[in-house]
C-alpha cells in the first residue's frame, strides 16, 4: 500500500483571463468549463486516485493568505475534507510552495508520495488522467521523480517541452533526456515530427523526502530559507502560516528551474509518464474557446448571448445580454464593471491591459464588483458623491466582525432572513422589511442567527467610503483586530 498526499498549488492571478480573473478572485476559482471551478475539478480528479494499492490522504493546498477562505469554501461545496492550507505570505513561485508541502507531509516521520498539480488546468478525460497518475505513483514509490508529459497534438509555441529517449517512446514510462524552453513555430514543428517531445504540464509525482534531497543537492539556499520559515510557523486550525519575514527571503524559483532540469544525468532518476487526457492549461481566452462546446459556426457562448452572422467567437456574459452581428474570431467578456473585446489571435495581450490598470491604480484588476468574504459576499450596486449602495448576503450562522468606521454611517434594510444587529450597547433582531441606522463611529456587528441566508441592502453615507475604513475589535476569521 502506497501512502499518497495530493498537493494542489493554488497560487497565481491569471491576468490573461481578465476581466473574469482578478487578483482577489483568480482563474483557479472560476467556473470556466463546467459548474465547478478549475480548483474544484483538480481536487475531484485527485480524489479519484485511490485504489486497492493507494492510501490517499486529504489534500494539502498551497495558496495565498487572501484566497484561503475561497479555497476552503469551494472544497466544502464539493464535500472534500482539507488536509491543510499552507498560506504563503508572499509569492515565491512553485519550488518554495512544494517545499512547504514536503515539510508538512514529512511531519511525524511520514514520507508519502506527493502528487503535485496546479489548480488552474482542465482535463476532459478523467479516467485517462487517473490511469496515468497511478502509473506515476507506482514509479515514484521506488524513489523516482516522475513528471507528466502531455502528448502534443499541434506545434505549440506557448509551452515548454520534455525530451524523452526515443527508444522508450510508447512503453508507458519513459526516460527523460532534458527540458527545452518555449520554442518558435519551426522548432515546435520539428518537435512534433520527432515524436519524442511532450508538453510540460507542470504535474509532478515524487516522495516528499526525494524532493527535499534533490533540492538540497541543487538549490540548498531555497531549502534552508524555507526550513527557517517553516520552523517559525504559526497554526490556526487548518491554516498554517510560515514566518512572513523569513519567507520573504526565499529565492523565487520554479520547480523546473530549481530541480527538474538538473535531474537528467544526475543521481536523481527522472522519468515521464505520457498524459493523453484532453489537457489544457487555459492560459488565455483563446484556450477557453478551444475547450468549450461550440455551435455549427464555431461560436462558444456562456450566459445571455444572441448572435447573427458571426463565426468562431467566444462570448462570456455575466450580468446582461450581449449581442454580436457579423463578426468573426473575436472574444467578448462582460462583467458588471468591465467589458473586454479582443481579437482571438491576441488573447495573450490581455495581460497588458491588466498592467495598465495596475499602473493607474484602478481597482478593476483586483476585485469584482461582487466581493466574496468568509461570511458571504457583498455587491456594490451603486455609488456617487458621499454615498454607496451594497447588497449583502450573510451565510447561516455567520457574522461580520465587531467593527466601527471613522468616516461613514450605514443604513441597513433586511430583505430576506433574520438579522442580529449589535449597535453600540444594544442587540436587536430585525426581519424582512425592517431597518436600522448605524451612526458614524458606533461599534457594531451584523450576524445571521438563522438557518437561511440573510440578505440586506446597505446604504453608506459619509466623506470617505473605502473598504479600508474598518477598525475591527473582534473577528472569528483570523483577520487583524484592534
Do the domain assignments include residue 363? no
When computed from its CA atoms, the radius of gyration of the chain, rounded to whole angstroms, is 25
Domain extent at residue 466: 370-474
| Domain stops at, among 358, 381, 404 | 358
Write down which residue in 280, 298, 326 finishes a domain: 280
Residues 265 and 308 in one domain: no
Number of domains in the chain: 3
Q: Identify the domain boundary among 249, 280, 311.
A: 280
**Looking at the domain assignment, is residue 479 inside a domain?**
no
Residues 464 and 379 in one domain: yes
Residue 108 maps to a domain:
yes
Q: What's the pLDDT at 170? A: 66
pLDDT tens, position by position, 16-27: 999 999 999 999
With 0.85 as the threshold, say if the pTM is over it. Answer: yes
Domain co-membership, 262 together with 325? no
Residues 6+ apart with CB under 8 A from 432: 414, 415, 416, 417
Q: How far apart are CA 238 and CA 63, in angstroms?
A: 13
**Neighbour-count burial of 107, counting CB atoms closer than 10 A to its CB (0-12 exposed, 13-18 middle, 19+ buried):** exposed
Per-residue model confidence (pLDDT) at position 375: 95
Q: Which of 36, 41, 204 is nearest to 121 (CA)?
A: 41
The answer to whether residues 87 and 154 belong to one domain is yes
Q: How many other C-beta atoms lie within 10 A of the C-beta of residue 463?
A: 10
Helix axes 208-218, 94-105, angle to 10 degrees: 130
53-73 pLDDT per residue, tens: 899 999 999 999 889 999 999
| Whether 389 and 444 share a structural domain | yes
Question: Which pLDDT score is estimated for 43?
Answer: 96
The pLDDT assigned to 52 comes to 74
State whether 20 and 167 are in the same domain: yes
Which residue positions in the chain have pLDDT lower than 70?
170
**322 and 175 fall within a common domain:** no
Residues 12 and 159 in one domain: yes
Q: Is residue 243 part of a domain?
A: yes
Residue 394 and residue 259 share a domain: no
Amino acid at each position: 500500500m502506497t501512502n499518497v498526499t495530493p498537493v494542489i498549488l493554488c497560487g497565481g492571478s491569471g491576468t490573461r483571463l481578465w476581466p473574469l480573473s482578478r487578483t482577489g478572485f483568480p482563474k483557479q476559482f472560476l467556473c470556466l468549463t463546467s459548474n465547478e471551478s478549475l480548483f474544484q475539478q483538480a481536487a475531484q480528479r485527485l480524489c479519484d486516485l485511490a485504489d486497492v494499492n493507494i492510501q490517499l490522504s486529504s489534500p494539502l493546498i498551497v495558496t495565498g493568505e487572501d484566497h484561503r477562505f475561497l479555497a476552503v469554501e469551494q472544497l466544502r461545496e464539493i464535500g472534500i475534507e482539507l488536509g491543510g492550507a499552507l498560506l504563503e505570505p508572499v509569492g515565491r513561485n512553485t519550488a518554495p510552495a512544494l517545499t512547504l508541502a514536503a515539510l508538512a507531509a514529512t511531519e511525524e516521520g511520514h514520507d508519502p508520495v506527493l502528487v503535485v498539480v496546479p489548480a488552474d488546468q482542465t482535463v476532459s478525460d478523467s479516467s485517462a488522467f487517473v490511469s496515468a497518475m497511478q502509473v506515476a505513483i507506482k514509479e515514484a514509490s521506488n524513489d523516482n521523480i516522475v513528471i507528466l508529459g502531455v502528448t502534443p497534438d499541434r506545434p505549440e509555441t506557448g509551452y515548454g517541452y520534455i525530451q524523452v529517449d526515443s527508444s522508450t517512446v510508447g512503453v508507458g514510462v519513459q526516460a527523460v533526456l532534458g527540458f527545452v524552453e518555449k520554442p518558435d513555430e519551426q522548432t515546435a514543428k520539428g518537435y512534433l515530427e520527432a515524436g519524442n517531445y511532450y508538453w510540460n504540464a507542470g504535474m509532478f509525482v515524487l516522495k516528499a523526502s526525494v524532493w527535499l534531497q534533490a533540492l538540497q543537492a541543487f538549490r540548498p539556499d531555497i531549502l534552508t530559507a524555507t526550513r527557517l520559515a517553516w520552523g517559525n510557523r504559526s497554526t490556526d486550525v487548518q491554516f498554517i502560516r510560515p514566518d512572513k519575514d523569513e519567507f520573504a527571503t526565499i529565492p523565487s524559483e520554479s520547480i523546473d528551474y530549481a530541480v527538474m532540469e538538473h535531474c537528467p544525468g544526475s543521481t536523481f532518476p527522472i522519468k515521464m509518464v505520457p498524459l493523453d487526457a484532453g489537457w489544457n492549461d487555459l492560459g488565455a481566452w483563446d484556450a477557453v474557446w478551444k475547450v468549450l462546446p461550440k455551435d455549427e459556426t464555431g461560436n462558444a457562448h456562456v450566459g445571455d448571448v444572441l448572435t447573427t452572422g458571426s463565426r468562431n467567437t467566444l462570448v462570456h456574459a455575466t450580468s446582461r445580454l450581449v449581442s454580436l452581428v457579423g463578426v468573426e474570431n473575436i472574444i467578448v467578456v462582460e462583467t458588471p464593471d468591465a467589458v473586454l473585446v479582443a481579437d482571438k489571435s491576441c488573447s495573450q495581450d490581455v495581460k497588458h491591459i491588466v498592467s495598465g490598470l495596475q499602473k493607474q491604480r484602478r481597482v478593476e484588476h483586483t476585485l469584482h464588483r461582487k466581493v466574496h468574504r468568509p461570511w458571504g459576499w457583498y455587491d456594490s450596486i451603486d455609488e456617487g458623491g458621499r454615498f454607496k449602495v451594497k447588497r449583502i448576503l450573510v451565510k447561516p450562522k455567520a457574522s461580520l466582525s465587531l467593527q466601527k468606521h471613522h468616516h461613514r454611517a450605514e443604513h441597513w434594510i433586511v430583505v430576506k432572513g433574520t438579522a442580529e444587529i449589535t449597535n453600540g450597547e444594544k442587540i436587536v433582531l430585525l426581519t424582512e422589511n425592517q431597518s436600522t441606522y448605524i451612526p458614524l463611529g458606533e461599534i457594531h456587528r451584523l450576524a445571521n442567527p438563522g438557518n437561511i441566508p440573510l440578505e440586506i441592502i446597505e446604504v453608506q453615507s459619509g466623506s470617505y467610503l473605502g473598504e479600508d475604513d474598518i477598525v475591527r475589535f473582534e473577528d472569528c476569521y483570523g483577520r487583524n483586530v484592534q
